[in-house]
Amino acid sequence: MRILLVEDDEKIASFILGGLRQSGFAVDHAANGPDGLHLAATEPYCVAIIDVMLPGLDGLQVIEELRRRKIMTPIIILSAKRSVEDRVRGLETGGDDYLSKPFSFAELLARVQALIRRSTSASEPTRLTVGELSMNLLTREVSRGETAVQLQPREFALLEYFMRNPGKVLSKTMIMEHVWDYHFDPQTNLVDVLVCRLRNKIDRDYDRKMLHTLRGVGYVLKE
């Protein structure tokens, strides 16, 4: 699942980005209103987290423009303003939740997960299934057949990517940009190591292998 963060404060952005990525989310970051609006209008996100005080366009202007364009991505508003009037204004503008600074990451994560549950219940499945593999996107539980599979956040994000694209060959570049959020460095073996770890967990004890390597091309998850 991919989240958009629009926050100009470097320390707060680093704090949120680190926490979300450790929790298994892919995250795009914009440090100003115009860039945030562009990303939110052109990329699909499960949730957007938008600060109010932004350079270029403030957060409420970004949200107002997104709603005007009928882009209904769930939005959490971040703000140092704590009054009831400010919260009401943010929600009336089109925000789905409002979190005042300072805040704990645990609370932000809980609100993100709540918005995902709310939005996916009507529009997107909360469980992915490919052959014997099953993934619950809300509880983050994975199993192959009747056997539970314990995954680290990066492994979960990679398997989710494969399970959303069964039978499709995913290149190292695609995986790097989706799971790590940066462009592929041909000198790194991060993708190979992560795929190897995932393969050991979902295929090692089974005669029928699901995760396959296409030399020089990429990887594919088959039923």
| Average pLDDT of span 35-46 | 93
Rg for the chain, CA atoms, rounded: 19
125-219: CATH number? 1.10.10.10
Distance CA(19)–CA(23), nearest Å, equals 6
Residue 173 pLDDT grade (very low, low, confident, very high; cuts 50, 70, 90): confident
Tokens of 190: 């991060």
> Residue 118: what pLDDT?
81
Tokens of 219: 């990887």
Class of the domain covering 1-118:
alpha beta
pLDDT at position 78 over 90: yes
pLDDT tens, residue by residue, 83-124 = 889 889 999 999 999 999 988 998 999 999 888 888 765 555
pLDDT tens, residue by residue, 136-161 = 987 889 999 999 999 998 899 899 99
**Domain spans of the chain?**
1-118, 125-219
Residue 198 pLDDT grade (very low, low, confident, very high; cuts 50, 70, 90): very high
CB 172 within 8 A of CB 221: no
pTM of the model: 0.65
Distance CA(156)–CA(23), nearest Å, equals 10
